[in-house]
Amino acid sequence: MTGTLARVDQDFPALAQTIHGQYPLVYLDNAATTFKARPVIAALNRYYSQESANIHRGVHTLSQLATERYEAARATVQTFIGAEQVEDIIFTSGTTAAINMVAQGFVRKRLSPGDEILITEMEHHSNIVPWQMLREQTGAQLKVAPINDLGEVRLDAFAEMLSPRTKMVSIGYVSNALGTINPVKQMVALAHRIGAPVLVDAAQAVATIPVNVTDLDCDFLAFSGHKIFGPTGTGVLYGKQAILEQMDPVFGGGDMILSVTFEKTVYNHIPYRFEPGTPHIAGVIGLGAAIDYVTRIGMETIAAHDRKLARLAAERLSTIPGVRLIGEAADKTSIASFVLEHAHPHDIGTILDNHGVAIRAGHHCAQPVMQHFGVEATARASFSLYNTERDIDRLMEAVLKVKEVFV
C-alpha cells in the first residue's frame, strides 16, 4: 500500500516560489523544519474558520466535533508509531517539552546523588540541557557515550557505561547534525538488561524512517509535529502505560483534573493529566492530517527516497576539492553536512541563498558534535520527500559558486 513521490511537490505550496526574484526555491533545510502539506493547512483552516471550539468540556456541537477531531489525531499517532493503546500518546508543544516533562516528572524523583543519566555525544541540545538541569537539582551524574570519527555511537563504550547507577538513558534516533541512524533497538535492549528506562528522541527520525515503539521496546519516545510537515508548537510524548502511571504531571491546571477542592485535587486519567490547559487544538488536528498524509505515501517509500538523496549528495559533494563531509556513518539518512576549505559555513549559506538554495549553517544545536569533528560549524543540506536529484544539481552549482568567490 505504498504510494508514489511523483508530483508530491504539488502538495506543498511553499515550494512554489522564487528567491531574490529569479531563482526557483530549493529548500534543503528540512532538518530545521519541514514545509506544510496542503491537507495540514486545510485542517488548520477548517478549525479556525469553522470548527473553532474548546475540547473535552462543551456539550455543544462544535465542541464535540473539535474533541472528536483532536482525539482522532491521538489514534492516528498511536497507529503511526505502533503504540499499544491510544492512552500512551500525550500531546505536547514539541520534543523539547516532552523531554523536560520526562526529566522533571519521571526521572527527578528517582535520582539520588551519584546516580547516572546516560546520553550520547551526538545529542541535540534539547536532549542535553534538561539532563544538566536535573544534574544540578539532584547531584546525579551525566554520562556521555562517545562517537567515532564516522559519527556513529561506539556501542562497546555505550554498553560499558551502563551500570546499576544508570537511572535513565536518553538517545537520539537520527542525528540532526550528521544524519546517523543509531541502533536504537539494540541500545534499548542493552539498557533494559540493567533495568534502565530509555527515552528515544525521534525528532529527526519521524519524517524520514519508519518508527515503531513496540518494536524498539523504548519506554518513552518524543517527536515534534513541525518536522513531519505539521504545525509548529505541536509534539508527542509516547510512554508505556506502566511507566506513565509512575510519572507525575509537571504542570497543573484545567483539564488535567477530575475534581478540585482547596483540600485535595484528584488528577485526571492518563494521558489527560499530562495535558493541562487548552492545548494547541488546531495544531494537533493538523499534525493528525500530516501523519495521514505520510501514511498514504508510506514511510518505507519516503525512507528509501531520503536515504538515496543523502547518499547521492554526499557522493557528489565529495567530488569537489576542498569539501570535507562531516558524518559518514554506514547507516545514515536525509542529511549531508560538510565544510569547505577557505569558506566559513555562514558564507556558504549566504552565497547558496543568493542562488535560491536554502541550507542551514551553524552548529545545529549540537555543539559537542562540532567539537568532536574540530569545527565550529558546518553547512548542512537536509532532504525530505519533496526534494529531487535536480535539487542536488542546484546545490552543486551553488557550492561551485562559493568556490569561485573563495578561491
Name every residue whose Cβ is closer than 8 Å to that of residue 55 and which is 6 or more positions away in sequence: 63, 66, 67, 70, 278, 279, 281
- Per CB under 8 A, the list member of 267, 272, 373, 406 interacting with other proteins is 406
347 binds other proteins (CB under 8 A): yes
Binding residue for other proteins, selected from 376, 389, 393, 397, defined by CB under 8 A: 376
* Closer residue to other proteins, CB minimum distance, 222 or 377: 377
Strand partners, 220: 199, 239
Q: Is residue 341 at the binding interface for other proteins, with CB under 8 A as the rule?
A: no
For other proteins, give the closer residue by CB, 7 or 20. Answer: 20
What are the CA-CA distances from residue 299 to residues 108, 287, 370, 407 (Å)? 35, 16, 30, 42
Q: Which residues contact 317 (CB under 8 A, 6 or more apart)?
A: 323, 325, 336, 338, 395, 396, 399
Select 192 or 344, whichever has its Cβ closest to other proteins: 344
Interface with other proteins, residue 324, by CB under 8 A: no
C-alpha cell at 146: 562517545
Note whether 373 binds other proteins by CB under 8 A: no
**Which cell is 278 given?**
487548552
Q: Which is nearer to other proteins, 177 or 236 (CB)?
A: 177
Instruction: Decide if residue 362 touches other proteins (CB under 8 A).
Output: yes
Burial class (CB in 10 A: 0-12, 13-18, 19+), 373: middle
Q: Which of 133-145 are b and which e, b meaning 16 or more Cβ less than 10 Å from the residue's Cβ? A: ebbeebebbebbb
Establish if 356 lies at the interface with other proteins (CB under 8 A). Answer: no
For position 361 contacting other proteins by CB under 8 A, the verdict is yes
104 vs 263: CA distance, rounded Å: 24
Q: Which of 90, 370, 395, 399 binds other proteins (CB under 8 A)?
A: 370
Amino acid (one-letter) located at 85: Q
Sole binder of other proteins in the list 280, 305, 363, 403 (CB under 8 A)? 363
| Interaction between residue 20 and other proteins (CB under 8 A) | yes
Options 157, 243, 320, 365, the catalytic residue: 365
Residue 354 interacting with other proteins (CB under 8 A): yes
Is 365 an annotated catalytic residue?
yes
Residue in the block written with cell 528522541: 201
Longest dimension (CA), the chain: 73
Give 198's strand partners. 169
Out of 197, 286, 345, 368, which residue is the one contacting other proteins (CB under 8 A)? 345
Closest CA to 333 of 31, 26, 55, 1: 31
Residue 364 Cβ, how far from other proteins at the closest point, in Å? 11
- C-alpha cell read off for 126: 534539547
Closer residue to other proteins in complex, CB, 19/157: 19
| Active site members | 365
Q: Tell me which residues touch other proteins (CB under 8 A).
A: 20, 342-347, 350-351, 354, 361-363, 367, 370, 376-377, 401, 405-406
